[in-house]
Amino acid sequence: MTEQLQKFLDIATEAALAGGAVLLSYLGKLEDIQEKGSPGNLVTEADKGAEAAIVKVIQRHLPDHGLLTEESGELGDTSSKYLWAIDPLDGTTNYTHQLPICACSVALLIDGVPSVGVVFNPFSNELFQAAKGLGATLNRQAIEVSQTTSLASSLLVTGFAYDRRETPDNNYAEFCYMCHLSQGVRRLGSAALDLCFVACGRFDGYWERGLSPWDLAAGVIIVEEAGGKVTAYDSSPLQIKSGRLLASNAQLHDRLSEALVNTPPLSNWVGKLATGNS
C-alpha cells in the first residue's frame, strides 16, 4: 500500500505543478472574470485552464478513477473507491487582485477518506505534500505542527463563506471571540493554504464553515501527517461533505473546540468577555 500511495502522491504532484504553471501564465492577464452562485464567488479562465491541465494528468495516469472538480463537477466513475478532489485555484479572489496567496489543491480520497494531498502555490514556489503514513513535507523537507499549548499565545486563521451576507451562521461571532482569546486571527482567503500553514507551524489552529470537499481534502491529510488534528467543531470525526472543520496542532484542539461550541452570540459576546465568563 505504501508503494501505491507514493505513486498516487507523485501523480498528484505532477498534476498540481501542471495547474500551477497555468496560473502563472494567466496572472495579470485575465480577460474573463465571472461570478457563479453567491456574490464574490469568482471564476476565471485561469481556474478553467488549470483544472483542465490537472484533470489531463490524472486521467492519463489513472483513467478508472473518479474526479470531483470545482469547475466541471463530477467526472468519470465517482462511485469508485478512488475519488480525486480538485480545486485548480483556491483563492480566486486573491488571484484576480494579483495577491499571491492562492494555490492548486489536488487530493485523493480512498473510500471517502483524504489519503493523498498536494497543495502548490506557484507564486511563492511552495509545494506541500502528504500521503497517509508517509509524513508531510514542504518543498521536500519534513514539516510538523507548532508546539503552542496556550490559546492566549496562539495565532489562528479562519475564513468566511460566500453566503455570509445571507445567513446568520456566518462565522462573525466566532471570529470576534477568537480574536480576544488568542494573539490574533488572520484571514488569508485560501482554505488549502490555511491548512498547510497549520501543518508547517505558521498557524496554531484554523476553523471555517461553508467549504467544499475540494477546498479542504488535500489540506486535511497534510495537517494530519504533520502531527495535527482535524475534526468537526465539536471534536467529533470530520465529515468532509459538511464543509465545516477545525484543524489544530492537536495540543490546542480541545480548547479551540470548546470555544467554538460555546461562542456567545454576536449581540452579547463582548459583555461575557468583560465579566470573564468565556
**Region of poorest pLDDT, from 57-71, 83-97, 99-113, 260-274:** 260-274
Average pLDDT, the chain: 91
Whether the predicted pLDDT of 168 surpasses 70: no
Exposure letters 177-191 (e unless 16+ CB within 10 A, then b): bbeebbeebeebbbb
CB count within 10 Å of CB 141 equals: 7
Confidence check: pLDDT of 164 > 70? no
Question: Nearest 10 degrees: CA dihedral of 79, 80, 81, 82?
Answer: -120
Q: Radius of gyration of the chain from Cα atoms? A: 18
Question: Would you give the end-to-end CA distance of the chain in angstroms?
Answer: 46
The answer to which of 10-19, 26-35, 54-63 has the lowest mean pLDDT is 26-35
Residue 44 has pLDDT above 90, yes or no: no
Query: Containing H/E element for 235?
Result: none
**DSSP-derived pairing of the beta strands 155-158 and 184-186:** parallel
Look at residue 106 and tell me whether its pLDDT is greater than 90: yes
CA gap 262, 65 in Å, rounded: 41
For the chain, the farthest-separated pair of C-alpha atoms sits apart, in whole angstroms, at: 61
**Residue-wise pLDDT tens digits, 190-237:** 999 999 999 999 999 999 999 999 999 999 999 999 999 999 999 999
- What is the DSSP code (8-state) at residue 241? G
Query: DSSP code of 97?
Result: T
The angle subtended at Cα 211 by Cα 20 and Cα 96, nearest 5°, is 40
Q: Using an 8 Å Cβ cutoff, are 107 and 114 in contact?
A: yes
Q: Residue 23 belongs to what H/E stretch? A: helix 2-26
In DSSP terms, 83 is beta-bridged to 66, 109
Look up residue 169 and give its three cell numbers: 451562521
CA-CA distance, 5 to 265, in Å (whole number)? 44
**What is the C-alpha separation between 18 and 2, in angstroms, rounded?**
24
Amino acid identity of residue 260, one-letter, is: L
* Domains in the chain with CATH codes: 2-142 (3.30.540.10), 151-273 (3.40.190.80)
Least Cα distance to 186 among 201, 200, 203 occurs for 203
- Cell output for 14: 505532477
Q: How confident is the model at residue 27 (pLDDT cuts 50, 70, 90)?
A: confident
- In this structure, what C-alpha cell is assigned to residue 134? 508517509
Give the pLDDT of residue 278: 45
Q: With beta carbons less than 8 A apart as the criterion, state whether 73 and 54 touch.
A: no
> Where does the pLDDT of residue 170 fall: very low under 50, low under 70, confident under 90, or very high at 90 and above?
confident
